[in-house]
Amino acid sequence: MPVTDTDLANAIRALSMDAVQAANSGHPGMPMGMADVATVLFTRYLKYDPAEPKWADRDRFVLSAGHGSMLLYSLLHLTGYARPTIEDIKNFRQVGSPCAGHPENFELPGVECTTGPLGQGLAMAVGMAMAERHLNAEFGDDLVDHRTWVIAGDGCLMEGINHEAIGLAGHLKLGRLIVLWDDNKITIDGDTGLSTSEDIPARYEATGWHVVECDGHSFADISRAMDAAVKDDRPTLVRCRTIIGKGAPNKQGTAKTHGSPLGDEEVAAARKELGWDYPPFEVPGDIREVWLQNGKSRAAPHAKWQERLANSDQREEFERRMAGDLPQGFSVRDHVTRLLGEPKTVATRKASEMALEAINAALPETVGGSADLTGSNNTLTKGLGTFDRDDYGGRYVYYGIREFGMAAAMNGMALHGGVIPYGGTFLVFSDYARPAIRLSALQRARVVYVMTHDSIGLGEDGPTHQPIEHMMSLRVIPNLDTYRPADTVETAECWELAVSRKDGPSLLALSRQNLPQLRAEAEENRCARGAYRLKAAEAERRVILIASGSEVETAVEVREKLEARGIGADVVSMPCWSRFDAQPQDYRDDILPNVAPEKILRVSIEAGTTMGWERYTMVNGLRFGLDRFGASGPGARLYDHFELTAGAIEAKIVSTLG
């Protein structure tokens, strides 16, 4: 008998239920419910090459409902990707297997992005679709001409970020974005009717989307809907009416199949129901062969594309961009030299704009933006052009009041490759974007967060807008480099480090208020060390003042007062903890000598929470900051109010020294 689409889909179902059963953990319902839709997608629509998972012009496929990871692992395996192997799948959800509970881009090259935190996959796909159109505008149809496909569940659509993501996609008319909605009417708690009564297609249409429907278990109907999606010039939501856990006769259509193994008995019943008369993890040769052939045939366009690339005069630039390499010799040294020539007292958000003028001119791959705070974040430089539906070549995105959506879109752009995204909001609203910042770090995505108004120094907007705990709460995110530069030179240096980092995100915390230029030399990028001695004690060293950002100025003032009393004090500027912690022991010992507090008192000054600074001041040092919410008033007045002035700090240090 010839192999049918149903056979192909049942191979996914069998692998999924077997792997979940073997792991005794996982989500069989979604892979079994969407197996038919995924089969149509991977055999007739998606453009991909299992032999070269990272081929630049491949379609991007995002499993936004990441808990259904076995769907993706099954597809990658069956279509012939080198990984996962059947052994990998047998070890689903075990330490060491690339088949993690949720798909992770750093485990398998065939996984475009890490999903599981609901809503973010679809929102990243928006960013991928933006990057695609942007690169298409620059490199043309010959090199860049692909789609972004998403499978999303009810959870992805119910999360707030869905509103931000589809609003952006509809506004930008991202017609190459197609979302396949697994409309199974089931969430973990039970029927979707428990918590929602929304008309989802109407909502999508309200934001400029094209919506089609299909029976998610009819191959012909799925194809018809996908054809309609491909033809339309708007982003498309394909409502796939499915039965969760389809094939498990006693549990399908219920929440019981969602997040638990089916159980041996029901797995056996499903084998019977599906006519799948093979042992666990075995896919019969003929079915395996047809899957492999499909994997090969979908890769046909790759060879032609290689030819076009070989003949393109943009080849070198395109390859550089997609490899994520910066242009030869890129550096901010010239810019910094100019800064030294004309020292400026400006806010670091302005210093950031000045650095960006140089960076954006040198790096055509940057794509900037702001969540409706362009003039405050100083993220727009001359000549970038607006990225919109009429000009995807523009390099500046008006993200709207969508911090989370912006951050997720930037993740998608960075993962797509070819662009380096940066985007701004107020530091306090890093909270809104935080789930995506975490995913930048986990996914090792080169995204630069420009977070201005970084302390009570912002003044009158008051406690709702004044970050207190934010720097510390961001420093604890693994693999995120956080920077709080003190002046124009440090800001430029931190920017250089941020855009040069290929394996993770960076976040710049910038002041609203003006700060003096403190650095008078710039032979090397001193921020690369994370912390460095800005001023050395002149009198006998009794104190080391450690500060970041706007408080480095305060530290310098405190030092002058102490030195005037004959108390020697170093000033250590510490823009980046993670970089400092990564320095060799001898460097760290030089900056912060391991001496008892009675001999050298360590003092931290940062207009934010003091918790955590014990790491550098030691418990017996002094920590100046703010462990309560701020207040509304002019910024300078607030520093007085909260006793974060050089005079108050000097007094406390002197009394501590005795």
Query: Which 69-128 residues touch a copy of itself, going by CB under 8 A?
Result: 93-97, 100-102, 104, 114-118
Which member of 104, 138, 403, 493 is catalytic? Answer: 403
Query: Could you say which of 331, 632, 645, 656 contacts a copy of itself (CB under 8 A)?
Result: 632
Return d(Cα 22, Cα 379) in angstroms, integer: 51
Q: Where in 567-626 is the site for a copy of itself (CB under 8 A)?
A: 609, 611-612, 614-615, 618-619
Helices (H), 344-468: 348-362, 374-377, 403-416, 430-443
The response to whether 217 counts as a known ligand-binding position is no
Closest to a copy of itself by CB, 205 vs 319, is 205
The contact mask relative to a copy of itself for 176-215 (x = CB under 8 A, - = no) is -----------xxxx---xxxxxxx-xx-xxxx-------
Q: How far is the CB of 496 from a copy of itself (least distance, A)?
A: 26
Are 496 and 531 in contact by the 8 Å Cβ rule? The answer is no
Residues contacting 480, CB < 8 A, separation 6+: 437, 440, 441, 474, 504, 505, 506, 507, 578
The one-character DSSP state at 106 is T
Report the C-alpha gap between 477 and 399 in whole angstroms: 25
The stretch among 210-218, 245-253, 476-484, 558-566 that binds a copy of itself (CB under 8 A) is 476-484
According to CB under 8 A, which residues from 429 to 448 bind a copy of itself? 429, 431-432, 434-435, 438-439, 441-442
Q: Is 437 annotated as a binding residue?
A: no
Q: Which residues between 34 and 73 bind a copy of itself (CB under 8 A)?
A: 66
Coil, strand or helix: which one is 620? coil
Is residue 371 within 8 Å of residue 90, measured between CB atoms? no
Residue 186 in marked binding region: yes
Site for a copy of itself in 339-398 (CB under 8 A): 370, 372-376, 386, 398
**102 among annotated binding-site residues:** no
Applying the rule CB under 8 A, the residues between 400 and 429 that interact with a copy of itself are 400-405, 428-429
Q: Of 40 and 468, which has the nearer Cβ to a copy of itself?
A: 468
Q: Does 365 participate in catalysis according to the annotation?
A: no
Does residue 122 contact residue 150 with C-beta atoms inside 8 Å? Answer: yes
Contact 335, 354 (CB under 8 A): yes
Verify binding: residue 17, a copy of itself, rule CB under 8 A. no
Going by DSSP bridges, is the β-strand pair 448-452/506-509 parallel, antiparallel, or unpaired?
A: parallel
Residue 194 buriedness (CB in 10 A; 0-12 / 13-18 / 19+): exposed
* Window of 10-18, 312-320, 559-567, 627-635 that interacts with a copy of itself by CB under 8 A: 627-635
Residues 283 and 32: beta-carbon distance below 8 Å: no
Under 8 Å between Cβ of 105 and 112: yes
Applying CB under 8 A, what is the total number of residues that bind a copy of itself?
106
Dig out the tokens for 579 from the structure: 């970089």
478 makes contact with a copy of itself (CB under 8 A)? yes
Residue 200 or 649: which CB sits closer to a copy of itself? 200
Give least dist CB 139 to a copy of itself, A: 26
Rounded to whole angstroms, the Cα distance separating 355 from 335 reads 7
Q: Distance between CA atoms of 155 and 505, rounded to whole angstroms?
A: 27
Question: For the chain, percent helix, then strand, then coil, each to nearest 5?
Answer: 45, 15, 40
Shortest CA distance to 542 belongs to which of 565, 566, 559, 567?
Answer: 567
Residue from 390, 627, 647, 651 binding a copy of itself (CB under 8 A): 627
User: Is 475 labeled as ligand-binding?
Assistant: no
Q: Is 67 annotated as a binding residue?
A: yes
The single residue listed with the structure tokens 């491949």 is 58
Query: Is the Cα torsion angle 583, 505, 429, 115 positive or negative in sign?
Result: negative
118 labeled binding residue: yes
Residues in region 205-264 near a copy of itself by CB under 8 A: 205-208
Look-up of token digits 């959506």: 405
Tokens of 199: 């008309």
State which residue, 506 or 525, has the beta carbon closest to a copy of itself: 506
- State the minimum distance, in angstroms, from the CB of residue 342 to a copy of itself: 28
Q: Minimal distance in Å, beta carbon 165 to a copy of itself?
A: 8
Q: Which residue lies nearer to a copy of itself by CB, 428 or 547?
A: 428
Q: Is residue 461 a known part of a binding site?
A: yes
Which has the closest alpha carbon to 554: 624, 610, 611?
Answer: 624
Quick check: 463 binds a copy of itself (CB under 8 A)?
yes
Min CB(647)–a copy of itself separation in Å: 18
Q: How many residues does the chain have?
A: 658
Known binding residues are 27, 67, 116-118, 154-155, 184, 186, 258, 349, 376, 429, 453, 461, 465, 512
Known binding residues for substrate are 27, 258, 349, 376, 453, 461, 465, 512
Catalytic residue positions?
403
Known binding residues for Mg(2+) are 154, 184, 186
